[in-house]
Amino acid sequence: MNWNNITLGKFQQIEEINSRNLSDIDRVLFSACIVFDKTEFELDNAEPKKVLNLTNRLTKIFEKPINPLPYKKIGKYFVNYDISKITFGQYIELAFFLNQPIKNAHYVLATLSNQWLRRNKVSDHRKKANYFLDQPVTKIIGTLQKIGESIHSFNDEYKSLFGLDKAVTGDVEEDRFNKRYGWIYSAEQVAKYEGKSMEDTFSLPVRQAFNDLTYLKAKAKYEMEQFKKNNKSIA
């Protein structure tokens, strides 16, 4: 048994166990339950020799590094790495899910995947996410890393858009509302500018929405500068 036998779902559970304040032996035993599909009751009542065998097998798995490679196709789903081809709504989903990439890896992949010749539909998101939970973690980690790199590369094209201009907004970058609802607020501004509903706005190509936001941010800065000039001349 090796990392190829560990599903994303099991890996997420192991990560959660490792984040808890447990002794090393408890972490190993809980992880063994997950990897070998045992209940705590079964492991507690197993012969010591069998438990030792399982923990030794587990240690051998964990001692070997995961070789993270990106995959174009995982199971029956193709992964889209071209962020410029997704919708504004998909981008907002990714921005939220990638705050905790391992925990939300199945949702990230569900957002950026589709079957051959089939469109990415919101109604399929949960079904796809559950599918990826059962895929080998060896196929997920490298794919997740490349997705992160693709988003970073796309964001680099819009450097002026990221980060708030304090001359316009003041010190709201650390504001709780902005951290939690910043993208929804941005979507509302795009909807107002485009004269569309929020649903239609989420369906816009991400590049169109980002171009709108870039213009709106530049406009807000220009208007603030003009306001300051006019007030200065009056004073």
Clarify whether residues 52 and 86 are in a common domain.
no
Clarify whether residues 99 and 120 are in a common domain.
yes
Q: pLDDT tens digits for 102-155?
A: 999 999 999 999 998 788 888 899 999 999 999 999 999 999 999 999 999 999
* Residues 6 or more apart in contact with residue 81 via CB below 8 angstroms: 70, 112, 146, 147, 150
Q: Would you call 171 exposed, middle or buried from its count of C-beta atoms within 10 A (0-12, 13-18, 19+)?
A: exposed
**DSSP annotation of 114:** E
Buried b (16+ CB within 10 A) or exposed e, 18-57: eeeeeeeeeebbbbbbbbeebeeeebeeeeeeebeebbee
User: From the DSSP assignment, how many helices (H) and strands (E) are in the chain?
Assistant: 12, 3
Residue 68 lies in a domain: no
Residue 77 lies in a domain: yes
pTM for the full predicted model: 0.88
The residue from 30, 63, 96 where one domain ends is 63
Clarify whether residues 23 and 98 are in a common domain.
no
Clarify whether residues 99 and 147 are in a common domain.
yes
Helix (H, G, I), strand (E, B) or coil at 149: helix
Identify the domain containing residue 100 by its residue range.
Answer: 73-157
Helix (H, G, I), strand (E, B) or coil at 74: strand
Take residue 197 and report the two structure tokens written for it: 């509903």
Q: Over its length of 235 residues, how does the chain's per-residue pLDDT go in tens digits?
A: 899 999 999 999 999 999 999 999 999 999 999 999 999 999 999 999 999 999 999 999 999 999 899 999 999 999 999 999 999 999 999 999 999 999 999 999 999 999 987 888 888 999 999 999 999 999 999 999 999 999 999 999 999 888 655 554 454 445 666 777 889 999 999 999 999 999 999 999 999 999 999 999 999 989 888 888 887 665 5
- Domain tally for the chain? 3
Residue 136 lies in a domain: yes
Amino acid at 196: K
* Residues 6 or more apart in contact with residue 68 via CB below 8 angstroms: 138, 141, 142, 145
